[in-house]
Amino acid sequence: MLNKSKSENAYQIFIHIAVGIIVCASIFPLLYVLGMSLTTLGEMQRRNFFVIIPMEPTIEAYKRLLITDYIWRSLGVSIFRSLIGTLLLLCLTMTGAYVLARKSLPGRKFFLFFILVTVLFNGGMIPTYLVVKQLGLTNSVWSLIIPMLVDSFGLLAIKVFIENLPDEIIEAARIDGTGDFQLLIRIVFPLTIPSLAAIGMFNAVIHWNNWFDAMLYITNKTYYPFQLIIRNMFSSGMSSLDSALTMKASQRVSAETLRMAAVIFGIIPILCVYPFLQKHFSKGMFIGSIKG
């Protein structure tokens, strides 16, 4: 008996240590980036750019980023695409899923097949680029929204959710003579709100994080989303940053500090919605949707 509990204890200690190490490895890089984003130029130079906890923290880098015109604008673009893009996606998802969940709809199987084909086979980067160009969307915020209007997995997940709603609710309403549109607005939509919120949150995160579509479709810097600005801060050194920003900033903070502050800015919205996200994916809802 004693021997057995020894092995149980040893195992528990081992997994707690191993998980502890993995947790530290997940968190430490963030803290390190945060620390660097708060360090003054003087301290960077004094400590040879090796700062984990800044002794004289400064929010200068954040201020510099926020007083820069095009960074404001890019934050605006990112917020716009995340909010409006997600809202439109949810409208399409709600109506589409509602219709496709109706088993009596003639042609339903065809429509579902029509959607599933595109999950399996897509045109690829170049043809999609050509279509966005043909539609005249390049160099407009809509090029970042319209191609992402539907998330097929989310659509199918909501469809399954509506199918699983208790039949009595729907039937009762239909006997009362409620029309299809009224049924959607008054009964199905309110019941679906929690699931829609989850799909919406995921897609808002995808919108906020997307930078590659802007690299394809947008050449006018006015419409760059924030993630693309961060990317450019790293890829071409500071040359892509407004020289005024660098000049003024360089007296107080280093280029590294500015970059790290931008990274933190890119992370903050994610951290804000994360608690809501976790509530949903830990329920396994998305795994169910992929396999359903």
- Hey, which residues between 226 and 285 contact another protein (CB under 8 A)? 227-228, 230-231, 234-235, 254, 256, 259-260, 262-263, 266-267, 270-271, 274, 277-278, 281-282, 284
Instruction: Look at the alpha carbons of 269, 63, 263, 206 in this order and tell me if their dihedral is positive or negative.
Output: positive
Burial class (CB in 10 A: 0-12, 13-18, 19+), 3: exposed
- Shortest CB 235 distance to another protein, Å: 8
Binding segment for another protein (CB under 8 A), chosen from 65-73, 159-167, 178-186, 237-245, is 178-186
State yes or no: residue 158 binds another protein (CB under 8 A): no
Binding segment for another protein (CB under 8 A), chosen from 55-63, 117-125, 169-177, 241-249, is 117-125
Query: Site size for another protein, by CB under 8 A?
Result: 94
Instruction: Look at the alpha carbons of 108, 109, 111, 116 in this order and tell me if their dihedral is positive or negative.
Output: positive
Residues of span 125-144 touching another protein by CB under 8 A: 125-131, 134-135
The neighbour count for residue 182, using CB atoms within 10 Å, is 12
Q: Based on CB atoms, which residue is closest to another protein, 118 or 164?
A: 118
State yes or no: residue 85 binds another protein (CB under 8 A): no
Cβ-Cβ contacts under 8 Å for 162 (sequence gap 6 or more): 97, 98, 101, 188, 192
Instruction: Look at the alpha carbons of 21, 27, 30, 35 in this order and tell me if their dihedral is positive or negative.
Output: negative
The residue within the footprint of another protein, chosen from 2, 113, 124, 167 (CB under 8 A), is: 124
Cβ-Cβ contacts under 8 Å for 112 (sequence gap 6 or more): 100
Q: Based on CB atoms, which residue is closest to another protein, 89 or 245?
A: 89
